[in-house]
């Protein structure tokens, strides 16, 4: 059943208004009518049964029914600190990482980042990525939209992760496998921060700064992965070992 995003904190039996895009899809593509059942979610972890009430010109009205917590959220709070990638790569990565279960995406400008948008273009990209994440939630049945917030430079990104239980930076010259780090954990891990570089990778000074901030340095294996591939693989492996993909 098709899922639609509604505003949070709408009580049961109230009426919610769908976005213009969702309204058009409901009417023109799905061809639903008043009285048809739909699924609703608020982007904060709750989902609802819903019923199409009226096909109003400025937005379809739906009656909000019984609510319950979504069952598709990972128990692991996963943060990715990602060196800025070229535009289309980030678009695809946002969608894929939302499906994998990412909680927070923190793009930042690494020393070797090629893409360096000005403030106006950056605001547009952040808005687009948040929209992509919300659309991905409809397909993968998650209930929480990942937060996406630009951190500026590496130092600012590292501050975002200071309270995480486990922090790992992936570097192509590292020798220690991820499994070795995870197998030596002695306490439960509820939150993880992963740090990955842009297309050109990290400079040694950036890795040293991450280590000083408490990050362990890990390898993703003997092959050199594209930056966007490395981010997806790293998140999937952590979700497999510590989240709900295993």
What is the location of CATH 2.40.240.20 in the chain? Answer: 3-69
Please state, in angstroms and as integers, the Cα–Cα distance from residue 182 to each residue in 157, 164, 176, 179, 188, following that order: 23, 15, 11, 5, 11
Bridge partner list, 79: 104, 193
Q: Which residue has the tokens 């309204």?
A: 23
> Residue 57: which of 16, 4, 18, 8 has the closest Cα?
18
Q: Is 161:213 a contact under the CB 8 Å cutoff?
A: yes
What is the location of CATH 3.40.1280.10 in the chain? Answer: 77-242
Q: Output the pTM of the full model.
A: 0.90
The yes-or-no verdict on residue 87 having pLDDT over 80 is no
For the domain made up of 3-69, the CATH class stated in words is mainly beta
Q: Which residue has the tokens 């790992």?
A: 168
Question: pLDDT tens for residues 107-136?
Answer: 999 999 988 888 899 999 999 999 999 999
Q: Is 137:5 a contact under the CB 8 Å cutoff?
A: yes
**Rounded Cα distance, 171 and 91, in Å:** 23
Whether domain 77-242 has CATH 2.40.33.10: the reply is no
């Amino acid at each position: 059943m098709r899922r639609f995003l509604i505003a949070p904190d709408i009580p049961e039996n109230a009426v919610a208004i769908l976005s213009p895009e969702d309204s058009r899809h409901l009417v023109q593509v799905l061809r639903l009518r008043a009285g048809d059942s739909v699924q609703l979610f608020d982007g904060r972890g709750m989902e609802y049964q819903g019923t199409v009430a009226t096909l109003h010109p400025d937005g379809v009205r739906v009656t909000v029914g019984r609510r319950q917590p979504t069952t598709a959220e990972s128990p692991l709070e996963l943060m990715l600190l990602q060196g800025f990638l070229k535009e289309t790569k980030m678009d695809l990565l946002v969608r894929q990482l939302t499906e994998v279960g990412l909680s927070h995406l923190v793009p930042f400008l690494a020393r070797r980042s090629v893409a360096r948008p000005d403030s106006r273009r950056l605001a547009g990209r952040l808005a687009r990525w948040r929209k992509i994440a919300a659309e991905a939630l409809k397909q993968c049945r998650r209930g929480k939209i990942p937060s996406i917030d630009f951190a500026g430079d590496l130092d600012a990104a590292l501050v975002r992760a200071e309270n995480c239980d486990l922090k790992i930076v992936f570097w192509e010259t590292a020798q220690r496998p991820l499994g070795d780090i995870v197998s030596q954990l002695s306490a439960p891990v509820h939150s993880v921060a992963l740090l990955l570089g842009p297309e050109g990778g990290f400079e040694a000074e950036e890795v040293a700064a991450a280590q000083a901030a408490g990050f362990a340095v890990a390898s993703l294996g003997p092959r050199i992965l594209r930056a966007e591939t490395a981010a997806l693989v790293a998140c999937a492996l952590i979700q497999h070992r510590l989240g709900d993909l295993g």
